Amino acid sequence: MEGSDAGPPYNEGRTTPKGGSRQPPNNMTVQIFRDRPLDGLTTFGTRATAEAYAEASSLESLKELLAHAAESGLPVRFLGAGANTVAMSRVPGLVIRIAIKGIEKKPAPDGGTLVRCGAGEIFDDIVKMTVAEGLGGLENLSAVPGTVGGAVVQNIGAYGVELAERLQSVTVWDSKAGEVRELSTEECDFAYRHSILKTPAGEGLVVLSALLHLPARWYPVTGYRDLDAEIAARGLTAVTLTPAALSDAVRAVRSRKLPDPARLGNAGSFFTNPIISKVHWRELLTKHPSLVYYKLGGGRMKLAAAWLIEAAGFKGAVRGNAGVYENHALILVNRGGASGEEVLALAEDIRRRVREMFGVELAMEPVVLG
Ligand code: EPU
């Protein structure tokens, strides 16, 4: 089941087990690999090794792995396509890659379409499939890397659409209760790059599948400056702007702005766009008239983190093997052979300087594994 870079399974090669609690799991059907390099399993590609690693391609294998980890006292971490992950040099415990597949489509009672997707499906494959069938709703999320599970946890968003808006429910394994549960979108507590699954309240919940709801009556979501410019440049009109045409436009914009992880390791936006009070925003705008911001409801303002980082002088910065992308200040990159520690050190420098200059706290978007 593994590529050639997988470390040896637990039941081979370990001559001196670390202790009684970590005996090789000879009775297991799922293979667990020890000292497994994770470099190729994250889009950042940081040099990393997991103490133990396994893939769960079904609920049964997930349960088996969780039971083994609990018996062995191994902390568990989950991985999808590693698109929003910074892996540290040494990742203690058991890393479980969720590889649960399956796509099932059926009509929704309101005339729309329901698509159930396994958590391990590549999200962009679902976008491509639905768009190719003329089904609209996901096109603004074209080319967002990662799995369906990761997309749900993170509530991915791009060009005016958040995944939460296209979800009906999320099926999870509740490892504390020992049962499968169907969470409504309200129970998921979705917000900007946020869900309950990222919080202590969501501890022990593992996404098994997502039920997407694509609308019966499609309308294009436009209004994002870069995307509107691309639509205009392509001469698209109300008649020719189909889900497929909009998807192509989104892909073009993204490929111009964001580095291809296959060529330059990265995890997309490294920080979320910070939300501050109107009072704080007014102060900043007086001092920095070119500040980029968006008005939110309730007297809150969202700032473009990229602007703050560029103004702090970090665009194109190089710190050993890590750096800030020269074409977009919000993207930290692996210039080749970077460790997670190097990336986090650079991120910390950026956070400190932005705090000093603007009194704004930047929150990291990717998950740290380690
Ligand atoms: N900007 C700068 N310097 C730069 C780049 C941008 O000052 O180097 C300013 C520009 O004024 C620009 C503004 O920042 O108008 C915002 O930049 P951009 O349009 O690229 O969007 P973003 O806020 O950086 C967000 C999401 C992206 C998503 C795009 C499009 C977050 C943290 N990021 O980026 O999501 O694709 O909008 O909707 O919300 C991701 O989460 O990984 C991601 C790529």
Asked if residue 194 has its Cβ within 6 Å of ligand 1, the reply is no
Q: How far, in Å, from the CA of 303 to the mean position of ligand 1?
A: 10
Across 3-30, average pLDDT: 52
Kindly give, in sequence order, each residue whose CB lies less than 8 Å from that of residue 20, ignoring residues fewer than 6 positions away.
none
Q: Does the pLDDT of residue 78 top 70, yes or no?
A: yes
pLDDT level of residue 41 (50, 70, 90 thresholds): very high
Least confident of 21-30, 47-56, 133-142: 21-30
pLDDT level of residue 162 (50, 70, 90 thresholds): very high
pLDDT level of residue 28 (50, 70, 90 thresholds): confident
Asked if residue 330 has its Cβ within 6 Å of ligand 1, the reply is yes
Q: What is the pLDDT of residue 27?
A: 77
Asked if residue 292 has its Cβ within 6 Å of ligand 1, the reply is yes
Check if the beta carbon of residue 319 is closer than 8 Å to that of residue 342: yes
Across 106-135, average pLDDT: 98
Pocket test for ligand 1, best of 144, 260, 269 (most atoms within 8 A of CB): 269
Q: What is the pLDDT of residue 20?
A: 36
Q: How far, in Å, from the CA of 315 to the mean position of ligand 1?
A: 13
Q: What is the pLDDT of residue 197?
A: 98
Q: What is the pLDDT of residue 21?
A: 42
Q: Does the pLDDT of residue 2 top 90, yes or no?
A: no
Q: How far, in Å, from the CA of 259 to the mean position of ligand 1?
A: 13
Q: What is the pLDDT of residue 10?
A: 61
Q: Does the pLDDT of residue 211 top 80, yes or no?
A: yes
Strand boundaries in the chain, DSSP class E? 33-37, 49-56, 76-79, 85-87, 90-98, 103-107, 113-118, 157-158, 161-162, 167-174, 179-184, 205-214, 265-266, 275-277, 293-295, 300-303, 318-319, 322-324, 332-334, 367-369
Q: What is the pLDDT of residue 8?
A: 59
Across 197-223, average pLDDT: 97
Q: What is the pLDDT of residue 272?
A: 98
Please give the model's pTM, rounded to 2 decimal places: 0.93
pLDDT digit string (tens) for 310-346?
Answer: 999 999 999 999 999 999 999 999 999 999 999 999 9
Q: Give the catalytic positions in this structure.
A: 193, 269, 365
Across 81-105, average pLDDT: 98
Percent of the chain with pLDDT over 70: 93
Q: What is the pLDDT of residue 12?
A: 43
Asked if residue 257 has its Cβ within 6 Å of ligand 1, the reply is yes
Residues 104, 210: Cα–Cα separation, whole Å: 11
Q: Domains in the chain, ordered, with CATH?
A: 21-98 (3.30.43.10), 103-257 (3.30.465.10), 265-369 (3.90.78.10)
Report angle CA 5, 10, 13 to the nearest 5 degrees.
80
Across 281-296, average pLDDT: 97
What average pLDDT does the structure give for the chain? 94
Q: What is the pLDDT of residue 205?
A: 98
Phi-psi region of 219 (alpha: psi -120 to 50; beta: other; left: phi over 0): beta
